[in-house]
Amino acid sequence: MEYFDYIGGSFVAEKVKVEDLAKQYGTPLYVYSRTCLEDTFKAFDSSFGDTPHLVCYAVKANSNIAVLNVMAKLGAGFDIVSGGELARVIKAGGDPAKVVYSGVAKSKDEIIYALEKGIKCFNVESEAEMQRISEIATSLKKEAPVSIRVNPDVDAGTHPYISTGLKKNKFGVTIDKAYDLYLAASKMPGIAIKGIDCHIGSQLTTITPFTDAIDRVLCLVDRLEKVGINFSHIDVGGGLGVVYDDETPPSIKEYVEAIKDKLVHKKLTIICEPGRAMVANAGVLVAKCEYLKEGEISNFCIVDTAMNDLIRPSLYEAWMKIEEVNKNLDRPQKEYDVVGPICETGDFLGKGRKLKVASGDYLVVRGAGAYGFAMSSNYNSRPRAAEILVSADKTYVIRARETIDDLYALETLV
């Protein structure tokens, strides 16, 4: 099934015309497909078959509580990177016992909160963090379940800002240091070693970096087992890429099969942490053309949607597909830079796009379900977009559009 498609030239989300949503709720507008979210989660989950596993959706990709709730109802676990994300998971009906907690800078309060809620595992990223968790758990008379995030030093072959598994990155512990840290942790009070973890980057479009990383982690697992340190799970992280343009990432099934093949002999529960691959193509961002403007070098299609709403093109030079919401309108086709209202030259959604567009027409940015709203801001005092979830012919407003009053609600005059 196509979750987003054209019917008679009009762009639809499941069974709902997106032009109608834009007129009713205004733009910029995020629109998600519930069926796509569900089918994608089920694709991960079912590909593992009867291999013990837990699919922990990486909350940071799209943390709306309705999105989390859709996953929670299907039995998902969650990968979090802050106390705020844990609160969202709980608010959304997620089970803390299925939560793994990554991130290099966990604060004392966040560690206490996670221990009190009984999360599944801390993915520890340094020796100092291990010591802090040990002290806090001991003082609370609890045992903290931990794994160490190993940095396997493999090149994910992706954009430098979303590559995390190289020695020069701030994430995790090198393989050699991880060995020593496991030995030290095995003697620390309040620490229960549960697993081993890695996450090498995002938007990976080949299998090899994943399997190379697993090979390196497995070597370490073998060394540690020889000295009596055993694991109940291995967490392979997230990072599976999606199609924005002409990328050819492995399918979810191919990805899971490759992981299973590597790990099947180990009899460990496999945890994976997909973010982007779970939600990117379950969402679009709808913009309205305010003005057309001819420049000396390029034509500009100036839309009401900007880098504060969707920062991926500006931040990572990410290419995202932009199309007309209504393909039946009679407009001359021209090549445009699609730019927003923000006072930055880097404020664009796409460059050199052939579009048939006039002022007042709607455009749709595809693949905006991941790292879209979640990375949005109020820069230039722009209220953040509304979010809509579509399920067949039903429409739910899962986040109301922010108001102007919301912008300074927490501010005070001196």
Ligand X SMILES: *Cc1c(COP(=O)(O)O)cnc(C)c1O
Binding residues (CB under 6 A) for ligand X: these are: 58, 60-61, 79, 81, 102, 199, 202, 237-240, 273-277
CB of 147 to ligand X, least distance (A): 11
- Among the listed residues 56, 289, 301, 343, the single catalytic one is 343
CB of 355 to ligand X, least distance (A): 29
Q: CB 199: neighbour CB atoms within 10 A?
A: 27
**CA dist., res. 195 & res. 147, Å (int):** 4
Using CB atoms, what's the residue nearest to ligand X? 275
Instruction: Using the minimum distance from each CB to ligand X, give the nearer residue, 277 or 390.
Output: 277
Q: What is the DSSP letter of 379?
A: T
Instruction: Using the minimum distance from each CB to ligand X, give the nearer residue, 203 or 326.
Output: 203
Instruction: Using the minimum distance from each CB to ligand X, give the nearer residue, 77 or 96.
Output: 77
Q: Which residues pair with 32 in a beta bridge?
A: 283, 389
**CA dist., res. 37 & res. 405, Å (int):** 33
CB of 95 to ligand X, least distance (A): 18
68's CB contacts (< 8 A; 6+ apart) are 57, 59, 78, 88, 89, 92, 93, 94
Q: Would you give the distance in Å from CA 307 to the centre of its chain?
A: 18
Phi, psi of 398 (to 5 degrees): -95, -10
Residue 343 is among the residues annotated as catalytic for this protein? yes
Phi, psi of 125 (to 5 degrees): -110, 0
How many Cα neighbours within 13 Å face the side chain of 130? 25
Q: CB 119: neighbour CB atoms within 10 A?
A: 23
Helix (H, G, I), strand (E, B) or coil at 48: coil
8 A C-beta contact, residue 153 and residue 159: no
Element (H, E) at 94: none
CB of 361 to ligand X, least distance (A): 32
**What value does the CA radius of gyration of the chain take, rounded to a whole number of Å?**
23
CB of 79 to ligand X, least distance (A): 5
8 A C-beta contact, residue 42 and residue 21: no
CB of 108 to ligand X, least distance (A): 21
Q: CB 194: neighbour CB atoms within 10 A?
A: 21
DSSP string, 307-347: TTT--HHHHH-----EEESBTTS---EEEEEEE-SSSSTT-
Instruction: Using the minimum distance from each CB to ligand X, give the nearer residue, 12 or 124.
Output: 124
**CA dist., res. 327 & res. 340, Å (int):** 22
Helices H, strands E: what count in the chain? Answer: 12, 21
Instruction: Using the minimum distance from each CB to ligand X, give the nearer residue, 85 or 347.
Output: 85
Instruction: Using the minimum distance from each CB to ligand X, give the nearer residue, 102 or 376.
Output: 102
Instruction: Using the minimum distance from each CB to ligand X, give the nearer residue, 135 or 257.
Output: 257
Q: Kindly give the residue spans of alpha helices, DSSP state H, lying in 308-399.
A: 312-316
CB of 57 to ligand X, least distance (A): 9
Q: Which residues are catalytic, by number?
A: 343
